[in-house]
């Protein structure tokens, strides 16, 4: 364990950041699960609204460094292609 004040503070900050990042990552994963379920069962307008909000969340998480920007691009691309495939079938 750290033995001087600056190391103690750095340790405390790392714990706070870890908890914050964990909560944000959980929020992102929940949003991705919900949009995938909405694509499978939802209607066009509802799905498009959910897609916009999810893409916004993915971009924010990439901006904060919670996920890599390439991972964010991959999530957005796959979601958009699923929505397009669903709307083309309908």
HEC profile for the chain?
CCCCHHHHHHHHHHHHHHHHHHHHHHHHHHHHHHHHHHHHHCCHHHHHHHHHHHHHHHHHHHHHCCCCHHHHHHHHHHHHHHHHHHHHHC
In this prediction the pTM is 0.86
pLDDT at residue 17 in the model: 97
Classify domain 28-89 at the CATH topology level: Methane Monooxygenase Hydroxylase; Chain G, domain 1 (1.20.58)
What's the pLDDT score for residue 44? 77
From first to last of its 90 residues, the chain has per-residue pLDDT tens of: 778 999 999 999 999 999 999 999 999 999 999 999 999 987 778 899 999 999 999 999 999 999 999 999 999 999 999 999 988 887
Q: Where are the domains of the chain?
A: 28-89
């Amino acid at each position: 364990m750290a033995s001087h004040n600056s190391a103690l503070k750095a340790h405390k900050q790392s714990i706070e950041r870890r908890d914050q990042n964990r909560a944000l990552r959980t929020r992102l994963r929940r949003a991705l699960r919900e949009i995938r379920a909405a694509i499978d069962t939802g209607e066009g307008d509802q799905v498009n609204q959910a897609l916009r909000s999810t893409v916004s969340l993915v971009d924010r998480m990439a901006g904060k460094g919670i996920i890599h920007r390439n991972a964010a691009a991959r999530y957005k691309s796959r979601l958009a292609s699923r929505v397009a495939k669903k709307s083309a079938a309908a």
